[in-house]
Structure 1
């Protein structure tokens, strides 16, 4: 007989079945002695679950002159920040906000994504 996992009360199990998101930091990728050049260096490769972009979030972002395009839920890791860039399905996005999600198992983060101003080169 299979036993259900032991979780604290009222927590919902979160699946991450919608794909893989790669999270990059923007840093200088030029060789020593050359003019600095910004590029992307891989930090994390995580599975994600696409979340609904609610009407409140959409209008609040427009009020702040930001156009949120997607919201992705990923497993919680230490140091994802709004200075990072993500690549999902071949497109680059800038992280607008990082929010912790409560009552979800495993602990998760919601990443609100906006369009990038310029495309960066990727260093793997």
Structure 2
């Protein structure tokens, strides 16, 4: 079966590292993404682990994006909880599971 062509037309995100002063330093910028549904299985698995998944997106494959970097989409900060590098898609993608930071946990930019 032929792989479905993945689209990246839902928005743009930037990825940041957290420095020693707990501030955000830009690692990647201008990455186009596509939204994915947070499936019922993923939702309940996260709840069972006493966590949550607020958003799932996919980007053109980026092997150098890791869990616990910070994704910023339209000014909102998300912890990258999980990264999946998928090669069986066209083109290969990195799927990111994101948890939105509460206002009091948001970090300042360096």
Which of the numbers 28, 43, 66 marks the counterpart of 1:58? 43
Write 1 or 2 for the structure with the bigger share of strand: 1
Unaligned ranges ≥5, structure 2: none
Larger Rg: 1
Count of equivalent residues: 107
Pairing 1:35-74 to 2, within 5 Å after superposition = 37-45=21-29, 46-74=31-59
TM value normalised by structure 1: 0.80
**C-alpha distance in structure 2 between counterparts of 1:102 and 1:64, whole Å:** 27
TM value normalised by structure 2: 0.89
Q: CA RMSD in A?
A: 1.4
Unaligned ranges ≥5, structure 1: 1-8, 29-36
Q: Is the 8 A contact 1:22 1:42 kept in 2?
A: yes
Q: Structure 1 segments of 4 or more deviating over 3 A?
A: none
Secondary structure class of the residue paired with 2:45: helix
